[in-house]
Amino acid sequence: MYKDILVLGGDKRNINLANLLCEEGYNVSVFGFDDMSLFSSKAERRKNLSDGVESCDVVISGLPSTIDQITLNTPLCCEKIYFYSLFDLMKRNKIFLGAKMDDKLLHMAEVYDVQVVDYFKREELMVLNAIPTVEGALEIAMRETECTIHSSNCLVLGYGRIGKLLAKSLKSLGANVYVEARSKSDLSWIKAMGYKGINIRNVDYGIGHYDLIFNTVPHTILKSPSYSRIKPDCVLIELASSPGGFDIGEAEKHSVRVISAPGLPGKCAPGSAAVYLKDTVVNILNEL
Amino acid sequence: MYKDILVLGGDKRNINLANLLCEEGYNVSVFGFDDMSLFSSKAERRKNLSDGVESCDVVISGLPSTIDQITLNTPLCCEKIYFYSLFDLMKRNKIFLGAKMDDKLLHMAEVYDVQVVDYFKREELMVLNAIPTVEGALEIAMRETECTIHSSNCLVLGYGRIGKLLAKSLKSLGANVYVEARSKSDLSWIKAMGYKGINIRNVDYGIGHYDLIFNTVPHTILKSPSYSRIKPDCVLIELASSPGGFDIGEAEKHSVRVISAPGLPGKCAPGSAAVYLKDTVVNILNEL
Amino acid sequence: MYKDILVLGGDKRNINLANLLCEEGYNVSVFGFDDMSLFSSKAERRKNLSDGVESCDVVISGLPSTIDQITLNTPLCCEKIYFYSLFDLMKRNKIFLGAKMDDKLLHMAEVYDVQVVDYFKREELMVLNAIPTVEGALEIAMRETECTIHSSNCLVLGYGRIGKLLAKSLKSLGANVYVEARSKSDLSWIKAMGYKGINIRNVDYGIGHYDLIFNTVPHTILKSPSYSRIKPDCVLIELASSPGGFDIGEAEKHSVRVISAPGLPGKCAPGSAAVYLKDTVVNILNEL
Amino acid sequence: MYKDILVLGGDKRNINLANLLCEEGYNVSVFGFDDMSLFSSKAERRKNLSDGVESCDVVISGLPSTIDQITLNTPLCCEKIYFYSLFDLMKRNKIFLGAKMDDKLLHMAEVYDVQVVDYFKREELMVLNAIPTVEGALEIAMRETECTIHSSNCLVLGYGRIGKLLAKSLKSLGANVYVEARSKSDLSWIKAMGYKGINIRNVDYGIGHYDLIFNTVPHTILKSPSYSRIKPDCVLIELASSPGGFDIGEAEKHSVRVISAPGLPGKCAPGSAAVYLKDTVVNILNEL
């Protein structure tokens, strides 16, 4: 059983994460934060990296683990922490829980013989993160339109994790919900849940009908001929990672408003996002 | 049948109202707006008040009709329009549709023998206005807290128009919903709808449990001993008109956050609010 | 405080009621049941009426109190119990909780100087009874049609207690819900809740569209010209008390199926109905 | 494009299927039904099997295709139709749409060089069939218990197609819904949808709490120690195919009521089931 944990950098979510892990009974050390006042009294501040790594079985980084692929992501700390220093200290039996690690970083871990788990790839976390993503999307829709979601015509592009929860929430607030999907079984689900299914081939047809269009698919769904027929006051909200489902050039050409909304969980609900992180970390530790 | 209407001042909602009444087939004149570009081509601009009143059967003011009790509420017009001038021109068979008219104004109308209807007192409008009020309240709750509405503990004070719709929406977004009410039949409804009912006498008990507290009652519900036990990160949202249900002094003393949110329909959803206005005006005209 | 209660006759609901009142800490006696095996051990069987009345402050009858206006309604007992005998014994300071008492019975109570409360007139009980009524109506609709409620077109006549809960349940199961109402504020509520409102004057129009029609109004809503246009496989379900909202003669003439469903709470969910009774009785006792 | 279809036997659903395919513009012949009065006028009755097969491109059997593995399932026809006769006539370019065909039958089709599609294996049909299955399960639960689904404690074993829709419907009717699942991502979904997740290892714990237990998993989930602690008036409803999730022997030993409910779509909603069949058949024909 892994009980000794070092939370190493990250943003406000990792401060919450450290506090929540303390409450669960883990021995939590922290490093990579200049201001310790936000941590609960049980989290122990480490003087330096070496001291921190020595005391722990598991190191948890921020989300994402790195921005420059060389140092850890430590937005709340002046000091730079290099991966090669960390991995050098971690060798033998310590585990690194990272997020959004690329191949280069994974290769470095392999070279240093450090066991790595990408917690951001856990399905249970991705599902839970859909909750604050959807609330963030609703908040944007409420703020950016002059009409209520109630009685509005909403199109959701894609029926994955976010699409499923978003369609449910829009409908429960009184919207007329249309969902674009590709597979016949998804279209059956969409019918069963009470939404109107739109086959991907027909998405262009009737596009002038919507007040809000949400994209959840990471590749272009809405092609050029559609933009000229979108209602002038319709708002397009992009929830997928780049390049997303909208053609920004075409949208601009036709003065269609597109709002890009990446990383909603950390922005809209860092408190809830930290709870989901904690649950996922506990699951990982129990499985190790 | 009344078909000739003068829209006389008001904010953006009245511009939308004029356009929507044109679409419904009414002959619409407008006066009290400096910029005519926002009106549909069918709305006729009148040169002066006398010209406008002469052409119409019904005069519709903004919401509210007046702020100073002497002139009409015309925020989008430089010129002042006095009620006595209007009522003097209106005598005989013309009807004034106003909003939030006080006794003094009603008395003046009586003196000038002008028939008056306060459209803001219509029950159907008050019910419909609860829709954007609730969406506005949700938007505030999403923006002002670090957690999702999903899984949060929400207390709604009062089970009138806004309380009913707010409880429904909060529950549909996944909150644990508690509703305070006074009457036993309201508490039965609350149980039937799947919320947890809190008798007004017990509202203090368990107050430390909530993440969000919404008030919909226009007099103080939450008394002084409660504020010391409210969670530090709980947000109180005031939806009722003054004085509202919270004791601001006590809240400040205990550093409890209170957000006052009056007039949400016009602020959050002027488009939908105008549609509700139009529906209500049409109902009134059909009943005259 | 009234703590000594005699449950005097009634059906299975009153057996449950007696057991539930025991659990709440009341001293419960029973009379008017031949088989005592269904009562909890704490309920005390009384040898005769006089013994039973003497021991108690409050007498609770079955629902309804009487069928013949002379004797108490005691379907689970061979012996007849006459109201005049009961009231004669009850004189002075004892309270009779009855249900559906007519003027004659109320007058008799007055003559004998017995204080009477009709628990069935309590608004909180009527609201709660709407829950099993709606579930019973859904059960009938599921059993009597060849199609699912999901995707069906349902018309609800009336938007009172039962109409409100029924519309909510039908919609939540995926039906297209239309609600007929008379007042403009009800029609606003219907729109706010996401149903399609039908003005009572237009109910005939589009009547051929429905798969299920539920009536909740105690007077005829659906007039003769409608029946010839109702779909052959449409089912009409009558939930209101006689004469109800359907014209049975016209329905028969056009071979339209009408299912009469009175008294659903006692039939479909005697267990829940008893809990509601108990809650209501406790409310009454606390208010006395 | 395949336009000429022979509906060959089956129950009432296939009569509806033939009528619905006529409405969609297909040329429909039928054989294997003694009473032709239930078919729409456009469906053409064939004199004998050979005549029927000759006229068509596609043969659609009942659901299931066979009960004895030798003859077709023709419950509404006296005559026996042998698979070898059918397949012998079908050779060359005709397609057989069957349901629940076992390996022996598939092998026979291969020998006769007949192209076979099992329409019952189509995901879109299985999803849609979950709708009437859930309504049938609700109907049973309403009928077989003395309490309302509203406020009851319901456990759903399994979170597949039926589990997902059943949990949604139970919650929307006001039940407290608990869902047992195995995977962490399913448990995240269960939380996101607002149900209480029960890890399969903990299902035994708290089993005495439920009023209704629904199984949707085709292997035993509820093991022997649980049955002794189930509430006396709890009802267990089996929705999965044999052997199902309950231990019938243990249930009987402890007088726990188990209701087996196979094949609900055809029993509870043959009309809707036929529409789903038609949609699926049209999908298959368009893909051929």
Pair type for strands D95-98 and D58-61? parallel
How far is A91 from A84, CA to CA, in rounded Å?
11
The per-residue pLDDT for range A2-14, each reduced to its tens digit, is 899 999 999 989 9
Predicted confidence at residue B248, as pLDDT, reads 93
* Residue positions counted in chain A: 288
pLDDT at A230: 96
C149 CB within 8 Å of a chain D CB: yes
pLDDT tier at B21, thresholds 50, 70, 90: very high
Asked if D128 and A165 come within 8 Å (Cβ–Cβ), the reply is no
| Residue C1 pLDDT class (50, 70, 90 cuts) | confident
D92 pLDDT higher than 80: no
- Report whether pLDDT(B99) > 90: yes
The answer to whether the beta carbons of residues B177 and B198 sit under 8 Å apart is: no
CB contact under 8 A, B142 and A173: no
What are the b/e assignments for B73-86, b being 16+ CB within 10 Å? bbebbeeebebeeb
Distance CA B260, CA B236 (A): 8
Who among B149, B268, B269 is closest to A135 (CB)? B149
Residue with tokens 């409908």: A171
pLDDT of residue B140: 97
Average pLDDT score, chain C = 94
Tens of pLDDT, residue by residue over D126-184, are: 999 999 999 999 999 999 999 999 999 999 999 999 999 999 999 999 999 999 999 99
Q: Which residues, in sequence order, are CB contacts of B16 under 8 Å at separation 6+? A: B270, B271, B274, B275, B278
Subunits in contact with chain C (3 or more CB pairs closer than 8 Å)? A, B, D
Mean pLDDT of chain B: 94
Contact D149 C135 (CB under 8 A): yes
Average pLDDT, chain D: 94
From chain A, the residues in CB contact with D130 under 8 A are 192
For D254, half-sphere exposure in the C-beta direction (CA atoms, 13 angstrom radius) is: 22
Considering CB atoms only, which of C174, C191, C192 is closest to A194? C174
Whether B17 has its CB under 8 Å from any CB of chain A: the answer is no
Shortest alpha-carbon distance between residue D131 and chain A (Å): 7
The reply to whether A192 touches chain D by the CB within 8 Å rule is yes
Per-residue pLDDT, D195: 98
- pLDDT score recorded for residue C268: 92
The answer to whether residue A183 scores a pLDDT higher than 90 is yes
Q: Which two tokens stand for residue C41?
A: 């051990």
Measured in angstroms, the CA of A194 and the nearest CA of chain C are apart by 6
What is the bridge-based pairing of β-strands D235-238 and D257-260? parallel
Structure tokens at C166: 């029924």
Three-class secondary structure of residue D130 per DSSP: helix
From CA A217, how far away is CA C37, in angstroms rounded? Answer: 64
Supply the pLDDT for residue A36: 87
Residue A242 confidence (pLDDT): 83
Q: How far is B1 from chain D (nearest CA, A)?
A: 45
The closest alpha carbon to C30, from C81, C103, C70, belongs to: C81
Q: Provide the residue count of chain B.
A: 288
Residues of chain B positioned with their CB less than 8 A from the CB of A269: 145-148
Q: Residue A30 has which token pair?
A: 């922290």
Average pLDDT for B61-86: 93
CB of A55 within 8 A of CB of A29?
yes
Examine the pLDDT at B272 and tell me if it is beyond 80: yes
Q: What sign for the dihedral angle of Cα B123, B125, B126, B128?
A: positive
pLDDT at residue B38, as a whole number: 85
Among B39-43, B158-162, C152-156, C280-284, the minimum mean pLDDT is found in B39-43
To 10 degrees, what angle do helices A123-144 and D184-192 make?
Answer: 30
* Predicted confidence (pLDDT) at residue B92 exceeds the cutoff of 80: no
- On chain C, the residues whose CB falls within 8 A of the CB of A174 are 192, 194
Closest listed residue to residue C159, CA positions, set C138, C132, C139, C177: C177
pTM listed for this prediction: 0.94
Q: Are B97 and B197 in contact (CB under 8 A)?
A: no
**Are D269 and C139 inside 8 Å of each other by CB?**
no
Which residues of B fall within a CB distance of 8 Å from C123?
Answer: 183-185, 188
CA atoms within 13 A on the CB side of D2: 23
CA B209 – CA B186 distance, rounded (Å)? 22
Verify whether the Cβ–Cβ distance C124 to B283 is below 8 Å.
no
DSSP chain B: ---EEEEES-SHHHHHHHHHHHHTT-EEEEES-S-GGGS-TTSEEPSSHHHHHHT-SEEEE-SSS-SSSSB---TT-SS--BHHHHHHHHTTT-EEEESS--HHHHHHHHHTT-EEEEGGG-HHHHHHHHHHHHHHHHHHHHHH-SS-STT-EEEEE--SHHHHHHHHHHHHTT-EEEEEESSHHHHHHHHHTTPEEEEGGGSSTTGGG-SEEEE--SS--S-HHHHTTS-TT-EEEE-SSTT-SS-HHHHHHTT-EEEE---HHHHH-HHHHHHHHHHHHHHHHHH-
Q: Kindly determine whether residue A272 and residue B147, on different chains, have CB atoms separated by under 8 Å.
A: yes
Q: Are C10 and C61 in contact (CB under 8 A)?
A: yes
Question: How do residues B217-256 score in pLDDT, each as one tens digit?
Answer: 999 899 888 999 999 999 999 999 888 999 999 999 999 9
Which of D19, C174, D280, D159 has the alpha carbon at shortest distance from A188? D280
Q: What is the pLDDT of residue B40?
A: 81
* Cβ-based contacts under 8 A for chains C and D: 72
Which residues from chain D sit within 8 angstroms of residue A183, using beta carbons? 123
Q: Measure the N-to-C terminal CA separation of chain D; round to a whole number of Å.
A: 8
Contact yes or no for C18/C42 (Cβ under 8 A): no
B115, burial (CB in 10 Å: exposed 0-12, middle 13-18, buried 19+): middle
Residue of chain C minimizing CA distance to A191: C151
Q: Tell whether D192 lies on the interface with A, counting CB pairs under 8 A.
A: yes
Contacts of C160 (CB under 8 A, 6+ apart): C216, C217
Closest CA to C9 of C92, C89, C96: C96
* Nearby residues of C100 by Cβ (< 8 Å), 6 or more positions away: C63, C64, C65, C118, C120
Query: What is the maximum alpha-carbon separation in chain B?
Result: 63
Q: How confident is the model at residue C92 (pLDDT cuts 50, 70, 90)?
A: confident
- Shortest CA distance from A167: residue in chain B: B173
Mutation pick from A135, A170, A193 vs chain B, by most beta carbons of B within 10 Å, is: A135
Work out the pLDDT band at D242, boundaries 50, 70, 90: confident
Choice between A92 and C68, residue whose per-residue pLDDT is larger: C68
Per-residue model confidence (pLDDT) at position B284:
95
Residues in contact with A52: Cβ distance below 8 Å, sequence separation at least 6, in sequence order: A6, A8, A29, A30, A31, A46
Is the CB of residue D134 less than 8 Å away from at least one CB of chain A?
Answer: no
Chain D CB within 8 Å of residue A124 CB: yes
User: b/e string for C147-177 if b means 16 or more Cβ within 10 A?
Assistant: bbbbbbbbbbbbbebbbbbbbbbbbbbbbbb
Task: Average the pLDDT over A22-30 and give the result.
Answer: 94
Rg of chain D's alpha carbons, rounded to an integer? 22
Write the Ramachandran bin of C179: left for phi over 0, alpha for psi from -120 to 50, otherwise beta: beta
Selected for mutation to probe chain A from B12, B128, B150 (highest A CB count within 10 Å) is B150
Cβ–Cβ contact C172 with B under 8 A: no
CB distance C184–B124 less than 8 Å? yes
Question: Whole-angstrom Cα distance, residue D144 to residue D141?
Answer: 5
Task: Estimate to the nearest angstrom the gap between the alpha carbon of D261 and the chain centroid.
Answer: 11
The reply to whether A196 touches chain C by the CB within 8 Å rule is no
Q: A155-168 burial by CB neighbour count: b if 16+ within 10 A, else e?
A: bbbbbebbbbbbbb
- Residue-by-residue DSSP string for chain A: ---EEEEES-SHHHHHHHHHHHHTT-EEEEES-S-GGGS-TTSEEPSSHHHHHHT-SEEEE-SSS-SSSSB---TT-SS--BHHHHHHHHTTT-EEEESS--HHHHHHHHHTT-EEEEGGG-HHHHHHHHHHHHHHHHHHHHHH-SS-STT-EEEEE--SHHHHHHHHHHHHTT-EEEEEESSHHHHHHHHHTTPEEEEGGGSSTTGGG-SEEEE--SS--S-HHHHTTS-TT-EEEE-SSTT-SS-HHHHHHTT-EEEE---HHHHH-HHHHHHHHHHHHHHHHHH-
The answer to whether B268 contacts chain A (CB < 8 Å) is yes
Report the 10 Å Cβ neighbour count for D231. 14
Is the preceding peptide bond at B262 cis, omega within 30 degrees of 0? Answer: no
Could you report the per-residue pLDDT of C5-26, keeping only the tens digit for each? Answer: 999 999 989 999 999 999 999 9
What's the longest Cα–Cα distance across chain A?
62
d(CA C79, CA B167): 50
How far is it, in rounded angstroms, from Cα C52 to Cα C85?
12
Alpha-carbon gap, residue A6 to A26, rounded angstroms: 10
> What is the side-by-side order of every strand in the sheet holding D115-118?
D44-45, D27-31, D4-8, D58-61, D95-98, D115-118
So what's the pLDDT on residue B1?
78
Q: How confident is the model at residue A38 (pLDDT cuts 50, 70, 90)?
A: confident
